[in-house]
Amino acid sequence: MSEQNKKTVEVYEKNASSYLKSSELHDSLDVEKAKRKCEKLQNFIKKNIENFPKGSKGFEIGCGDGSNSEYIKSLGYDITASDVADDFINSAKSKGVKTIKFNVLENEFPDKYSFVFCWRVFVHFTKEDTLEIIKKVYDALDDGGIFIFNAINRETRDVDDEWVDFPNEYHMGVERYYKYFSKEELDENISKTNFQIQDFHKEGGDNSNKWLVYVLKK
């Protein structure tokens, strides 16, 4: 576990409630845009997991407010939402989602899963961290299982990484670590496992290239 991630975990443990409040405020400024983004993500999730039988086990790394796991549960899957911060865990619980306090770099997955979902979380991991995570997820998946995740595209930034707090969306009043990945970096890490890249695309931002989105298959 890198020092960057360790310090960032501490930030979220202490300030997750601020994150939740700023996210709600941001979405309220343009309700229609927030709705479109939510529907797009939900359609993407459904497309990638709908071939698994209902009742199949899934696991979300870094569930935040729990809304993605809530949606996955509504599709009929046995989803476990995880996070490092109690306020995030409590938010997911309030939505009726099964939860676990879990640090993917320190804890072992408690079960085997058909799919693992990790959205907007790789931003806080170093390249070395992500390799460890990808390997751990591989071991936690059933044969034929998939790992869905995204990362911020280095092409859209002026630095490889930084400590930052945002003035609007996701404002917390304290800086945390952000890492921006090139596709080559992530592909290199993936190549060190037996994962196959089932799907890759870029999305978001003014040029539809803010996020690198992967679906890996075991």
Q: Where are the domains of the chain?
A: 3-217
Predicted pLDDT at 29: 80
The β-bridge relationship of strands 211-217 and 141-152 is antiparallel
Q: What is the mean pLDDT of residues 144-160?
A: 97
* Confidence class for position 106, pLDDT limits 50, 70, 90: very high
Residue 158 pLDDT more than 90?
yes
User: What's the mean per-residue pLDDT of the chain?
Assistant: 95
Average of per-residue pLDDT across 81-89: 97
User: Residue 168 pLDDT > 80, yes or no?
Assistant: no
**CB within 8 A of 12, min separation 6: which ones?**
19, 83, 84, 85, 88, 176
Calculate what percentage of the chain has a pLDDT beyond 90: 88
pLDDT of residue 30: 84
Q: Determine what percent of the chain is predicted with pLDDT higher than 70.
A: 100
Residue-wise pLDDT for 181-203, tens only, equals 999 999 999 999 999 999 999 99
Domain at 3-217: CATH code? 3.40.50.150
Pick the more confident residue, 96 or 19.
96
